[in-house]
Structure 1
Amino acid sequence: MNIDNLAPILPVNKSILMATQGRIDMLVRFSCLLLLLMGSCYSQRDKLRQGEELKDGDELLPSSRKFKLGFFTPPSFSERYIGVWCNNPEDRTLYQYDEVPSRIVVWVANRNSPIIDNSGSLRIDSTDGNLKIFHSGGNPIAITSVEGATNTSVTLEQSGNLVLHELHSNGSIKKMLWQSFDYPTDTLLPGMKLGINLQTGHQWFLRSWLTYYSPAEGSYTFGMDPNLTDRLIIKRHGEVRWTSGLWPNGEFKSWVDRGYNFSYTSNEQEKYFSYSEKDDVTSFPTLQITDDGSLNDDGGFSMLQITDSAICNRGSSHFKVKSGLMSSVDGTKFRESDNMTLYDCGLKCYQNCSCVAYAPTNKGNETGCEIWSRGTKFIKSNTHDSRTIYLEVRKGKSLLQYLDFYDFKSEMHIKITHSIFVGFI
């Protein structure tokens, strides 16, 4: 602004104009500084310290940008989960929180304890140093359960491993207390283990999602054979459905080589399989056990597919957590003395081809299960007598309609296939 050019036109004091110009320049500089400070305040972070929280919509992102941690909702669901998923910086659609494509999710913190709204926040409990999900719907959901440490922090590492550390008084790392790689869900990443810790008895294995849409614990597991430790197996309800073959010469004869450097470690402390990336592989390698027992690679291709006549074909259906009642007050009940987990209850329903809903029951410290059959109507309700019910929903059907589906019979067979996997968007 040239104030000499304005002087003949505006009958004002030149000193006033100069002061005004100075204030404008100062305001511009202050605004730029404020924007820079705001940018630093909202920059990406990979660590959560005590006194900080990760709200629904926030994220942890390591410098490699290969992975993210945050809240997500599977498509057709309303419940919120905290998970780690593969991140593609070139594809901005993967940054959406509300509908993260579920098949790039590699780890779920609260797979059996979803949050019903977006009130959740991830925090370190100041009383015991454990990582917990706080929300408005009930008690905090504990992710870790370590003892004897109150000064802790949690970091999402570049490998996708979420690690809880104990800290010295000066903030430096003292030791690792817990890591998500010891508690995988359905996906194996480089650096994870499949095997057993001989000192503690802890086993490393994958467990599938309950359904294509639900992260809850499913029917299939993938891990090391505890009876014959030099092979990998897929089991359904404890029954072996597939084996990799033995590891006599440093490789699996029946394994389809798609870029995995498998290794086997056996010593007095532990026995396990793990794998690393091959130098000539450009895509990031993962292995996933799916809800139908298939073993998928990172490209979404099914390396191994298992079909079992004992499994009902529920098509595109999935179980959704709802609050309400069933039109038939009493379903088929299993005793609380059986001490059934939510996973056990879901399996009771999933194995029954006429089951459309299930709910856990409680009596003291014991847990049971109740399931309802086809023809029972769900009644949405938020009254005091409402229950948390896992309701089967078929794509395209209203929740308030009578639910129906068919079962599918075929001989159990195992086949190798490269059929393309269609993921969520």
Structure 2
Amino acid sequence: MLSTCLLVMNNKESLVIFSLFLPFLAFVVASSDDTLQQGAILTSSSYLVSAKKVFTLGFFSPPYSKENYLGIWYTNDSQSHPVWVGNRNTPIHNNSGVLAIDNTGNMIITHNGGDTIELYTTQTRDNKTATLLDSGNFVVREVNSNGTTGHVLWQSFDYPTDTLLPGMKLGVSHRTGRNWSLTSWLAEGVPAPGAFTLDWDSRRGRLIVRRRGVIYWTSGVLKDKAFEFIGKSDPRNVVYDYINVTSEEEEYFSYSLIKDSRCTPEGRKAISGWMLDYNGQINDQDRPPIARVDLCYGYKTRGSGGVYEGCELWEQPTCRNSNRS
């Protein structure tokens, strides 16, 4: 039963993959599992589901697209916007994608018609596993000789796409030099990097949205657990607890959900994700927008009030004088 035929039950084209792929016997991961073991494979028809079934990881196609991506989404809303995309720069043009940890310990995506996509590479040949956590983080760990898992070697939280989940970081690690930043999708249904970025300005203690490097919007300073230009949490929707850490090793912004609010519906105490839309707007699921960055056009300053709170004033083009040619 554990033969290479398991890969080709749904796609004859996948036969090509086996000449390039696992030199050991592989088995398709069960869709109820939260962990990808070394020697197992995840195909376009199988999934990882976190222990409490909060998140699902698998291959998906955006609406009106034939391209496939490896992504993570909330399990109870499979039609929602994915919170993470593993191959946003290298889409797969068919449904032949296969995720696996190969016999050298690398976590890779192979597919018919393209080069191998490397998510995690290593110089050691120790046994490894990849687990989808209930936080939405996808982590690779080494497996000790006694079968227990060791420290985290790689995690999806270190490679954010356009969504900030509770517990994720925006900022910088001075120890590794890694920068945590969001980058919007190129367009609706196109996960490729777009024009907008969301960063943490640790020097001034604020969030910044840039469009192609130009500051569009700022949150204002984080003070007394609130931002100047982000409305206070509505307990009927969600209550955020903002976190600002500055140390020798790292500087970052993060947030969590206050789950003991009596006004917040139970379903909203666990589901959240700040998504930087392709037009610059910051949304959290179906709640009111966090920031209407899409309304910033450089003519309204951040003190203008209303929906223009936080907008930056840009240098405007100089009009020609009527006496000039």
Q: What TM bracket, shorter-length normalisation? A: 0.7 to 0.9
Contact kept in structure 2, 1:146 and 1:177, CA below 8 Å:
no
Residue 154 of structure 2 is matched in structure 1 by 178
Residue 68 of structure 2 is matched in structure 1 by 80
Residues 1:114 and 1:412: Cα distance change in structure 2 (over 3 Å): farther
After TM superposition, the runs of 4+ consecutive aligned structure 1 residues lying more than 6 A away are none
Residue 375 of structure 1 is matched in structure 2 by none
- 1:157 & 1:130 partners in 2: Cα distance? 20
* 3-state DSSP of counterpart to 2:190: coil
How far is 1:298 from its partner?
Answer: 2.3
Residues 1:203 and 1:168: Cα distance change in structure 2 (over 3 Å): same
Residue 47 of structure 1 is matched in structure 2 by 35
Contact kept in structure 2, 1:206 and 1:223, CA below 8 Å:
yes
- 2:159 & 2:222 partners in 1: Cα distance? 25
Residue 252 of structure 2 is matched in structure 1 by 272
- 2:122 & 2:111 partners in 1: Cα distance? 21
1:247 matches 2:234: no
Cα RMSD of the aligned pairs, angstroms, is 2.1
Q: Deviations over 1:1-54 (max 9, x none)?
A: xxxxxxxxxxxxxxxxxxxxxxxxxxxxxxxxxxxxxxxx95600000111000
Q: Deviations over 1:241-292 (max 9, x none)?
A: 1111112434312222332111111111011111111122331121110000
Residue 201 of structure 2 is matched in structure 1 by 225
- 1:273 & 1:306 partners in 2: Cα distance? 19
- 2:274 & 2:33 partners in 1: Cα distance? 27
Residues 1:105 and 1:412: Cα distance change in structure 2 (over 3 Å): farther
Contact kept in structure 1, 2:69 and 2:92, CA below 8 Å:
yes
* 3-state DSSP of counterpart to 1:416: helix
- 2:255 & 2:295 partners in 1: Cα distance? 29
- What amino acid does structure 1 have at the position aligned with 2:167? G
- 1:149 & 1:256 partners in 2: Cα distance? 50
1:115 matches 2:92: yes
* 3-state DSSP of counterpart to 1:118: coil
1:63 matches 2:51: yes
How far is 1:145 from its partner?
Answer: 3.2
Residues 1:105 and 1:82: Cα distance change in structure 2 (over 3 Å): same
- What amino acid does structure 2 have at the position aligned with 1:62? S
- What amino acid does structure 1 have at the position aligned with 2:291? L
- 1:139 & 1:154 partners in 2: Cα distance? 22
Q: Deviations over 1:177-221 (max 9, x none)?
A: 010011111111111001111122211111100101100111111
Residues 1:302 and 1:43: Cα distance change in structure 2 (over 3 Å): closer
Contact kept in structure 2, 1:308 and 1:412, CA below 8 Å:
no
How far is 1:308 from its partner?
Answer: 7.2
How far is 1:161 from its partner?
Answer: 0.4
* 3-state DSSP of counterpart to 1:223: strand
Residues 1:44 and 1:307: Cα distance change in structure 2 (over 3 Å): closer
1:235 matches 2:215: no
* 3-state DSSP of counterpart to 2:96: coil
1:306 matches 2:293: yes
- 2:81 & 2:288 partners in 1: Cα distance? 13
Q: Runs of 5+ in structure 2 lacking a partner?
A: 1-28, 234-238, 309-325
1:140 matches 2:116: yes
* 3-state DSSP of counterpart to 1:181: helix
Residues 1:42 and 1:198: Cα distance change in structure 2 (over 3 Å): closer
- 1:179 & 1:211 partners in 2: Cα distance? 26
1:212 matches 2:183: no
Residues matched between the structures, number? 264
* 3-state DSSP of counterpart to 1:302: coil
Greater C-alpha radius of gyration? 1
Contact kept in structure 2, 1:149 and 1:166, CA below 8 Å:
no
Residues 1:149 and 1:195: Cα distance change in structure 2 (over 3 Å): farther
* 3-state DSSP of counterpart to 2:120: coil
Residues 1:204 and 1:229: Cα distance change in structure 2 (over 3 Å): farther
